[in-house]
């Protein structure tokens, strides 16, 4: 057999020239791992969207026509429950002034620098609403409060209706050239806020906004990597010591894992991959994946030694027996992860590629470095100290005896569980990507409870002709649109230029309330706007609401926290309304929340194709490896149904499927196949080499790989359970779902695959 000669030669070389192997491995690892020094971490939410993502393109077009709307929202909550005191307003004025100093800030909006307009004779006075609060009289305080809580542009956006919470919104123009922009801003914002809190101990500040979300992606990831990875290493160490019972063997495996991780990361970074909160999970996953190969190899090796074989011989024999299944399982695992390349979100593609790379490197090191290390290091075993596999023997007996019941029972169980799949619904609520341990989540919940939330839709309505926005018919439509939006239960606030037009019209008529309505002539409207625009100070212009030739405006509707289903529902209603009422205008509605609302579905469709491709490829490989179409096809069953059953279980326990979960099937196919491969290859060896019956072959398979399968699955499940404790939902959901899938797969491999084999593959080998 070709494989065997290759594996034999490899084994002979590795054990006879261990120093060479060690040296070459170290050089390879060293050169690759040197790439890590170029490590960059990107924490902009935009990384989740591919360059051709239609929602991203729409959003970019909007941002380039008007202005970018990335922001930090600083929420101020006074202990006395009233913003409108001299001291509290003074604090807001200071905070507004200080916020101009934040990096990349292009505009700061607050109740204090709101450009309040009043008429005074023939003059239009345009000034900050609040400028010298400490010198204000009680009447002035009262006046300012009335203006603020009744101003449509402020109410519910920068001031709560009761005046107990206010916001200072800092708009940032992120150049997008430095992946650490959000972190850079956050450091400065927090310094500013800390200094501010010392000066104003009676105020509580909360930080929300898109920039803070970007930063939360980074912080969640750092938190994960500093808590989860050590935990994972602990678990792996325990499992290895338990099943290998050899210190040197355990340490060698740990070394191999570390090498695999840094090599894969280094090579990925050479290839230009930047780490993201998702791809940063790669080390944890590689850690879990890399264990399996070494465990299979070392269990056999130590078993041979315990039987009294000489060390080198024991290793050569272990390589001979395990080489094919290890290569097979590694390749299928890599294919599974490579299927993530079908994902719409680049971080998942990166994750798939890094892990696939890590798995292949772990394979290479397992058949070269590991045998070399075992040869060089002292390995002591107690003779005949064998892992107890009597449990496996009992299990085999049970499965053989109850095969019919198991066959029917498991079929029913699988069908029942899979019938719960429709209970899942697609949901990508980016606020809920973070659990309450993350500051951004708490601040954003506070924002949602007290002002308008972080979710919004930006809508550009373009007349196509320069100056067209001053057309009375257009303005009337926009006003109608604004009112319609405000009627929607989900909408909390609408920012529309029509409110400014109405106010100016009133100002132009000596502040007569009866003139608080839209100007009725186009020239008049245009000239009011000109007058106002000419009066605005630095950073408070209207360029974020009106495009340069004044042919279109941007309306921003802020919503409360919504699920993806609700958001898509709003979007549908929005488009229906606009199709009817804005047919003569060019419409573009986009926003980050809309981008996230669509990515789940887009990704699921593409991942289905990816998983299918992986499945076909893996099945073909299995058919070739088993040299049996029948076994290859039979293996499909335990490979496929765990994913279906897991999604059914998910529908029962959670039911929220987002970006993170959409990649699980593709990812797990490669992993669950491993158990099947090991089981079927032992089963086949028993039938072909030993000429046993199906029942006997099942018994043989259980006794040879049963324990190893149980141990490796245990490592995998605990690895992904650890991941599931991540404070970042995309990772925790993916972790839990993967753990469920692998656990189900193991159960099916033990309880369902053998009955199927005994039923469908009755012929003697």
By CB under 8 A, tell whether 527 contacts other proteins. yes
Q: Which of 103, 409, 655, 765 binds other proteins (CB under 8 A)?
A: 103
Site for other proteins in 65-84 (CB under 8 A): 65, 67-68
421 vs 542, beta carbon nearer other proteins: 542
Of 26-34, 235-243, 393-401, 519-527, the window that binds other proteins (rule: CB under 8 A) is: 519-527
Min dist CB 533 to other proteins, Å, is 6
How many residues sit close enough to other proteins to count as binding (CB under 8 A)? 50
By CB under 8 A, tell whether 198 contacts other proteins. no
Burial class, 541, CB count within 10 angstroms (exposed 0-12 / middle 13-18 / buried 19+): middle
Distance between CA atoms of residues 358 and 265, nearest Å: 8
Of 269-277, 355-363, 390-398, 543-551, the window that binds other proteins (rule: CB under 8 A) is: 543-551
Q: Which of 147, 540, 636, 707 binds other proteins (CB under 8 A)?
A: 540
> Cβ of 183: how many Cβ atoms within 10 Å?
19
CA angle 8, 14, 15 (to 5 degrees): 90
By CB under 8 A, tell whether 508 contacts other proteins. yes
The DSSP annotation for 452-478 comes to: --S-EEEEEEE-SSTTGGG-HHHHHHH
Of 303-311, 340-348, 388-396, 545-553, the window that binds other proteins (rule: CB under 8 A) is: 545-553
Q: Are 745 and 643 in contact (CB under 8 A)?
A: no
By CB under 8 A, tell whether 51 contacts other proteins. no
Distance between CA atoms of residues 669 and 333, nearest Å: 7
Min dist CB 509 to other proteins, Å, is 10
22 vs 540, beta carbon nearer other proteins: 540
By CB under 8 A, tell whether 178 contacts other proteins. no
Q: Are 686 and 703 in contact (CB under 8 A)?
A: no
Token readout for 610 is: 């990816």
Q: Which of 4, 543, 576, 586 binds other proteins (CB under 8 A)?
A: 543
543 vs 576, beta carbon nearer other proteins: 543
Of 23-31, 531-539, 622-630, 722-730, the window that binds other proteins (rule: CB under 8 A) is: 531-539
By CB under 8 A, tell whether 541 contacts other proteins. yes
Identify which of 524, 205, 247 has the alpha carbon closest to the alpha carbon of residue 381.
Answer: 247
Min dist CB 540 to other proteins, Å, is 7
Min dist CB 528 to other proteins, Å, is 8
121 vs 489, beta carbon nearer other proteins: 121
Min dist CB 593 to other proteins, Å, is 22
Q: Which of 104, 430, 650, 720 binds other proteins (CB under 8 A)?
A: 104
Q: Which of 524, 578, 587, 612 binds other proteins (CB under 8 A)?
A: 524
253 vs 508, beta carbon nearer other proteins: 508
By CB under 8 A, tell whether 100 contacts other proteins. yes
Q: Name every residue whose Cβ is closer than 8 Å to that of residue 499 and which is 6 or more positions away in sequence.
A: 151, 152, 153, 482
By CB under 8 A, tell whether 549 contacts other proteins. yes
Q: Which of 1, 37, 64, 138 binds other proteins (CB under 8 A)?
A: 64
- Listed in order, strand segments (DSSP E) in 39-121 are 70-78, 105-109, 115-120
Distance between CA atoms of residues 37 and 34, nearest Å: 6
Min dist CB 68 to other proteins, Å, is 8
Q: Name every residue whose Cβ is closer than 8 Å to that of residue 400 and which is 6 or more positions away in sequence.
A: 695, 698, 699, 754, 758
Q: Are 394 and 325 in contact (CB under 8 A)?
A: no
Distance between CA atoms of residues 762 and 683, nearest Å: 12
Q: Name every residue whose Cβ is closer than 8 Å to that of residue 54 and which is 6 or more positions away in sequence.
A: 598
Of 253-261, 466-474, 559-567, 589-597, the window that binds other proteins (rule: CB under 8 A) is: 466-474
Min dist CB 433 to other proteins, Å, is 29
* Interstrand relation of 656-657 and 425-426 (parallel, antiparallel or unpaired): parallel
Of 18-26, 404-412, 442-450, 464-472, the window that binds other proteins (rule: CB under 8 A) is: 464-472
Q: The tokens 């070459």 sit on which residue? A: 24
Report the C-alpha dihedral over residues 339, 345, 348, 352, rounded to 10 degrees.
30
By CB under 8 A, tell whether 473 contacts other proteins. no
Of 121-129, 310-318, 492-500, 692-700, the window that binds other proteins (rule: CB under 8 A) is: 121-129
By CB under 8 A, tell whether 538 contacts other proteins. yes
Q: 629-653 and 729-751 helices cross at what angle (nearest 10)?
A: 130
Q: Which of 1, 2, 52, 123 binds other proteins (CB under 8 A)?
A: 123
Tell me which H or E stretch contains 491. Answer: strand 491-495
Rg (CA), the chain: 32
By CB under 8 A, tell whether 125 contacts other proteins. yes
Q: Are 555 and 459 in contact (CB under 8 A)?
A: yes
Q: Which of 530, 605, 629, 633 binds other proteins (CB under 8 A)?
A: 530
307 vs 466, beta carbon nearer other proteins: 466
By CB under 8 A, tell whether 547 contacts other proteins. yes
Q: Are 455 and 562 in contact (CB under 8 A)?
A: yes
Q: Are 644 and 415 in contact (CB under 8 A)?
A: no
Does residue 700 sit in helix, strand or coil? helix
Of 117-125, 259-267, 594-602, 695-703, the window that binds other proteins (rule: CB under 8 A) is: 117-125
Q: The tokens 């280094």 sit on which residue? A: 266
Distance between CA atoms of residues 184 and 210, nearest Å: 14
Chain residues binding other proteins by CB under 8 A are: 61, 63-65, 67-68, 100-106, 120, 122-127, 173, 466-467, 470, 508, 521-524, 526-528, 530-531, 533-543, 546-550
């Amino acid at each position: 057999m070709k494989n065997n000669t290759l594996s034999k030669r490899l084994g002979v070389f590795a054990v006879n020239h261990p120093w060479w192997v060690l040296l070459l491995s170290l050089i390879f690892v060293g050169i690759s791992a040197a790439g890590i020094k170029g490590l960059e971490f990107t924490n902009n939410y935009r990384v989740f969207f591919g360059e051709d993502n239609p929602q991203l393109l729409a959003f970019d077009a909007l941002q380039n026509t008007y202005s970018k709307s990335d922001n930090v929202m600083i929420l101020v909550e006074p202990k006395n429950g009233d913003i409108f005191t001299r001291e509290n307003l003074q604090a807001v004025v200071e905070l507004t002034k200080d916020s101009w100093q934040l990096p990349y800030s292009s505009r700061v909006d607050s109740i204090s620098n709101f450009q309040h307009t009043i008429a005074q004779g023939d003059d239009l006075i345009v000034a900050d609403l609040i400028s010298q609060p400490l010198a204000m009289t009680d009447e002035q305080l009262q006046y300012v409060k009335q203006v603020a809580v009744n101003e449509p542009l402020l109410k519910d956006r920068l001031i709560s209706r009761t005046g107990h919470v206010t916001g200072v919104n800092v708009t940032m123009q992120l150049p997008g050239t430095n992946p650490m922009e959000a972190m850079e801003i956050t450091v400065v914002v927090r310094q500013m806020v800390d200094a501010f809190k010392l000066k104003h101990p009676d105020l509580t500040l909360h930080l929300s906004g898109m920039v803070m979300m970007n930063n939360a992606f980074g912080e969640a990831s750092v938190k994960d990597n500093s808590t989860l990875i050590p935990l994972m290493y602990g678990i792996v160490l325990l499992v290895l010591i338990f099943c290998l019972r050899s210190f040197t063997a355990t340490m060698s495996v740990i070394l191999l894992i570390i090498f695999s991780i840094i090599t894969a990361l280094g090579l990925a970074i050479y290839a230009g991959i930047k780490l993201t909160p998702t791809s940063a999970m790669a080390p944890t996953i590689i850690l879990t994946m890399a264990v399996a190969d070494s465990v299979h190899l070392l269990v056999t090796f130590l078993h041979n030694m315990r039987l009294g074989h000489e060390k080198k011989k024991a290793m050569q024999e272990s390589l001979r027996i395990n080489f094919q299944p290890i290569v097979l399982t590694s390749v299928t695992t890599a294919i599974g992860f490579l299927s993530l390349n079908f994902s719409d979100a680049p971080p998942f593609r990166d994750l798939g590629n890094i892990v696939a790379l890590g798995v292949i490197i772990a394979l290479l090191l397992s058949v070269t470095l590991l045998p070399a290390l075992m040869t060089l290091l002292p390995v002591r075993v107690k003779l005949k100290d064998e892992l107890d596999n009597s449990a496996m023997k009992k299990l085999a007996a049970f499965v053989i005896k109850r095969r019919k019941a198991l066959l029917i029972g498991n079929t029913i169980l699988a069908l029942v569980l899979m019938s719960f799949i429709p209970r899942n619904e697609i949901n990508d609520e980016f606020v809920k990507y973070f659990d309450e341990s993350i500051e951004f989540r708490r601040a954003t919940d506070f924002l949602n409870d007290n002002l308008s939330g972080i979710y919004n839709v930006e809508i550009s309505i373009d007349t196509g002709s320069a100056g067209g926005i001053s057309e009375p018919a257009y303005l009337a439509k926009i006003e109608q649109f604004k009112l319609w939006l405000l009627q929607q239960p989900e909408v909390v606030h609408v920012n529309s230029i029509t409110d400014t037009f109405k106010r100016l019209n009133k100002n132009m008529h000596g502040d007569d309330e009866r003139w608080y309505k839209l100007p009725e002539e186009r020239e008049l409207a245009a000239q009011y706007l000109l007058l106002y625009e000419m009066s605005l100070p630095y950073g408070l212009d209207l360029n974020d609401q009106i495009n340069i030739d004044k042919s279109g405006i941007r309306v921003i509707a802020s919503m409360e926290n919504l699920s993806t289903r609700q958001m898509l529902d709003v979007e549908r209603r929005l488009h229906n309304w606009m199709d009817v009422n804005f047919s003569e205008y060019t419409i573009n509605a986009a926003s980050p929340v809309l981008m996230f609302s669509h990515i789940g579905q887009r990704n699921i469709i593409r991942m289905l194709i990816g998983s299918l491709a992986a499945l076909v490829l893996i099945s073909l490989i299995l058919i070739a490896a088993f040299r049996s179409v029948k076994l290859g096809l039979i293996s499909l069953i335990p490979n496929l149904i765990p994913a279906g059953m897991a999604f059914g279980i998910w529908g029962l326990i959670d039911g929220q499927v987002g970006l993170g979960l959409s990649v699980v099937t593709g990812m797990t196919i490669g992993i669950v196949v491993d158990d099947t491969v090991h089981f079927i290859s032992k089963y086949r060896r028993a039938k072909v080499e030993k000429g046993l019956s199906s029942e006997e072959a099942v018994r043989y398979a259980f006794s040879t790989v049963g324990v190893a399968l149980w141990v490796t699955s245990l490592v995998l499940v605990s690895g992904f359970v650890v991941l599931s404790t991540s404070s970042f939902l995309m990772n925790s959901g993916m972790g839990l779902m993967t753990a469920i899938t692998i656990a189900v797969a193991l159960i099916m491999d033990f309880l369902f695959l053998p009955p199927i084999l005994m039923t469908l593959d009755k012929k003697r080998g």
